[in-house]
Amino acid sequence: MFNFTFTISCVALALASGSFAANAKRGLAFADSDNTGDITVAKNTQVSWVYDWGSTAPNYLKNTGITYIPMQWGEGNVKNFMAAVQAQGAKTVLGFNEPDLSSQSNIEPMAAASTWMQYIQPLKANGVRLGSPAVSNAPSGTPWLSQFFGNCTGCTIDFVALHWYGDGLDNFKNYVESFHEKFSSPLWVTEFASTSSNVTEVEDFCTGAIAYLDGLDWIEGYAWFAFYRQESGSYYNLLGASGQPNALGDIYLGTN
């Protein structure tokens, strides 16, 4: 039977060592590869961790106090993942990115379980906390994860990761709660955002969502998508055109 380990306590010790952030749950999905210096505006805010879908901490995070969480995005270069995690002393890792989608890491559940047991599960013996593959909220997401767990009988996952994009705070809450009921595990929402094209609606959604997530003890972490500058047609970017937080960024960073 699949074995979850319920180690919710002291998330701050796992994430925020050396961090100036006031909120050990709050993280960033960092999507801007062109303006990497922008990350400095998240220093000394409510943000305590960041990931960028890669496995090695980038140089631009030095001296920010923000913890980097390595991720094994797909099957590529997975043989080197454990060494990369150990080399940087990471205490928490994230698994495959939306493996249920052909446009993302696109891995069959059985193959993902086999790869996990060989290359990711051994990190557990070194005290590393393991986050599950992060499925999308497409209809394929929950069935994929159920099949993964069914095949990964020797896995010891510490928390389950999920993504959500959509419209409406109630829809978000209902999805998160149904996901928790389904998998009976601590959760990290490693990508989420309102897809409304109304800026005020997006800001209101963000305000309500982070209050909701902060109030649940079984939510260990969450990361808004995404930390990048304004682009044509984007409404959930946290930064303005100059690289400074916009109104939405001020809400999420906790600087307003």
- Rounded Cα distance, 148 and 160, in Å: 12
> 3-state class of 94 per DSSP?
strand
pLDDT digits (tens, 9 = 90+) for 130-169: 999 999 999 999 999 999 999 999 999 999 999 999 999 9
Question: H or E segment at 162?
Answer: strand 160-166
Tokens standing for residue 189: 């929402």
- Rounded Cα distance, 131 and 223, in Å: 14
Tokens standing for residue 133: 């593959």
44 CB-contact burial (10 Å; exposed 0-12 / middle 13-18 / buried 19+): middle
Instruction: Name residue 74's amino acid.
Output: G
User: Across residues 95-122, what is the average pLDDT?
Assistant: 98
Does 5 have pLDDT greater than 70?
Answer: no
Average pLDDT, the chain: 91
When mean pLDDT is compared across 56-60, 144-148, 169-173, the lowest value belongs to: 56-60
Question: H or E segment at 250?
Answer: helix 247-253
Q: φ and ψ at 54, to 5 degrees?
A: -110, 180
Rounded alpha-carbon distances, angstroms, from residue 142 to 108, 109, 146, 183, 252: 13, 11, 6, 9, 28
User: Across residues 44-56, what is the average pLDDT?
Assistant: 96
What are the contacts of 6-9 at 24+ separation with CB within 8 A?
Answer: 6/185, 6/186, 7/129, 7/158, 8/186, 8/217, 8/218, 8/220
DSSP line for 182-223: HH-S-EEEEEEEE--S-HHHHHHHHHHHHHHHHT-TTEEEEE
User: 10 Å Cβ neighbour count for 6?
Assistant: 11
pLDDT digits (tens, 9 = 90+) for 176-206: 999 999 999 999 999 999 999 999 999 999 9
Tokens standing for residue 165: 């994009």
Instruction: Name residue 46's amino acid.
Output: Q
pLDDT of residue 13: 39
User: Across residues 93-122, what is the average pLDDT?
Assistant: 98
**b/e map 101-122, b = 16+ CB within 10 Å:** beebbebebeebbebbeebbbe
Where are the chain's structural domains? Answer: 3-253
pLDDT band, very low/low/confident/very high, at 7 (cuts 50, 70, 90): very low
Judge contact between 174 and 166, C-beta under 8 A: no
pLDDT of residue 9: 38
pLDDT of residue 2: 43
- Rounded Cα distance, 203 and 250, in Å: 10
pLDDT of residue 140: 98
* Top-level class of domain 3-253: alpha beta
User: 10 Å Cβ neighbour count for 208?
Assistant: 15
